Chain A
Amino acid sequence: MAEGGGTNVLNENVPVYEHVEVNSKPFHLDSFRDLWLSVLKPEDYSFNQTSGEIEDAQFIEEMGITPETLEELKTICSPDSLRCHSEDEAPDPDVVPADPQLATLKLRKRRLDYKKTLIRDNVGRHDAYANEMEMLSLGRRAEDASDTVPEGEIVLTFNVIYPVLFERFKHVRAYQTLHVLGSQKLTELRDAICCVSDLQVFGEFSNTPDMVPQFISKDHYKSAFFFFEGIFYNDMRFPECRDISSVTREWTKSRDFPEFKTAKMEEATFSDLRVKVGFPYLYCHQGDCEHVLILTDVRLIHKDDCLDRKLYPLLSHKHRVVTRKCCVCHLYISRWITTNDTLAPMDPCLYCDQCFRLLHYDQHGNKLGDFQAYAYVDPGAFN
């Protein structure tokens, strides 16, 4: 272990709370990383294991003890000493022991017993599986050594919260969790955020249902920005990109706001940022699709993490949105939304492709009745 004299708590890049258990003060991510590396020994964050003999020899040397004392320490402090049962009668770890003493186990038992009384036992099952994605990538190594994330790299965790698309779901804060590396560009996160508004197709197609273009909004409207600590990071990678933050910045000029700066999203890496952990920032695309973005964690990468840099940004959580089914068959996911539709039970109304066509067109493809039809992308399409 290295001596800790280097960390000066007064250094503004040592993250501290701004509001306890809510968010940190802003700090520069690359300086934060340097500070950690300056107080640690390389073997503390290395992906490789130091040999046990070297570690033992160092311990004996530094503590001035005999090898026998170390052996004794190993025995006393061995995890075996924590075994709460005799060796031959190992309990089933899947079962809460009968008559538990720990408050936590009593509560777990109560909850499990209550759950058994419920008939619908698959409530919230989607949530329970939500974290499984995380496990798929754990400990993944790059096939090509040159793609291995370097030791001492920082990993950032972002929660990207979906805008409230439907009034009905405004109490659920649906979000996806993405991990990025400090050395990655902001644009890499932008490209990894999936949002239905990127997949929308604009136009009314009731007269030409077969002519729905393949172009989606993502290809049409490429402007977007991140907003961190007073700076708008605009995506300017393509000629058609515009600084869509200018409207906001113009507006703030006539109000009593401090001046906001702009930067290019494709030129900034995450390590360049000076941000607060736990504080809400903004991602805006498609003109007005706004996502609150929270950096929930920054840490040094660990040998058990996914070490293949090509897999970053890494998705570890995705809220499963309930998909909206066709109003006719109640089976397939909706592809069409109609308005002013005399054939529909409600307005607007959702249909799967097949039911939509069977109901609204005759054998020759002629439109029956008067209505407007738009392509519909279900928010659950990403599940």
Chain B
Amino acid sequence: MIRIENLTKVFETPEGPVTAADHITMDVPDGEICILLGPSGCGKTTTLKMINRIIEPTSGRVSINDEDTTGMNTTDLRRSIGYVIQQIGLFPNMTIEENISVVPRLLGWDRKRTRERARELLDMVALDPSAFMGRYPGELSGGQQQRVGVIRALAADPPVLLMDEPFGAIDPINRAVIQDEFLRMQSELNKTILFVSHDIDEAIKMGDRIAIFRAGRLVQYDRPDDLLAHPKNDFVESFFGEDRALKRMQLARVRDVMEDDVPVVRHDDDLRRALELMDERGYHYAITLVNEHHQPVGMVMRSTAETRRGKCGEHYYGVDALAHLDDDLRKVASLMFSHDTTWLACVDEDGRLAGTLTQRGITRYLGATYRPQE
């Protein structure tokens, strides 16, 4: 755990003292990504750099796993903390392998182990070691350099990682790819990460917790969903913007919102059975039709069941859009709009029906203050 207590930095400038960070206090639990978010000049970078002492704090302290870093030797401290700067900072005079090997070599690892580690890390970000080890940074694309910057910080397997807008310099499409890749890596590595960003969507996507900074102060520190649902003040509220509710949709998964335990009919059920079930549940719209593998194949409309006779298999509409359990609500809403429907069947990895999701269900979910404020 990283514990930051009353961390303060006052820069003495010719125009007088500038308080870049003002009594920042926060804990980052092990294995979590904490995003430092806020407008330009609010002290995010300053706070981050006080953790590895690139900037000496004016007062306050930082402890990592209950060890106060104040008295620690800075080079030892820094070798135990991965650091990714915004400009990537690969050394152009070194090959990719040498770049990745900087910290292991400073730590005195032997050649073989260092080399194996470099290979392993390159594999992890899908860069072919045999092609990339010997190249120079100038021979890589921006996205590839960014990846190398990240794995270089991971080389000696430090428990803590500091990242200052690590994906800031890449185009949005590549950025999303790298973000996903990074989250996948993190789910295995469980590093404790402090991550500076000024991109709200990135913060919501990547952060287990978000710390909102304003003018050197920590305004609110919460889980993303809580921040969006319960902004502490007008600043946080306006910072996340008018479309806060839509942003929250990114955070919610289908599995959390869908109605499971839904009634279904099969091809050889009678339409009267469908009507019965709908009456039972008070469905005004339709009921799901599944095949022998419990996969949704269509829906029987209430109006059909009321007016026709026969088997469900003869009177159904096929489904052309399905929601998956791990889709976020934004994607689902978009599916609903594009297929002009207010209802979607939700399926698991094997395509079996797991539940259904309606537009009403989504709005109810977003409207509810479902978590008590702390």
A, B from the same assembly: no
Measuring CB to CB, which residues of chain B are less than 8 angstroms from any residue of chain A?
none
Measuring CB to CB, which residues of chain A are less than 8 angstroms from any residue of chain B?
none
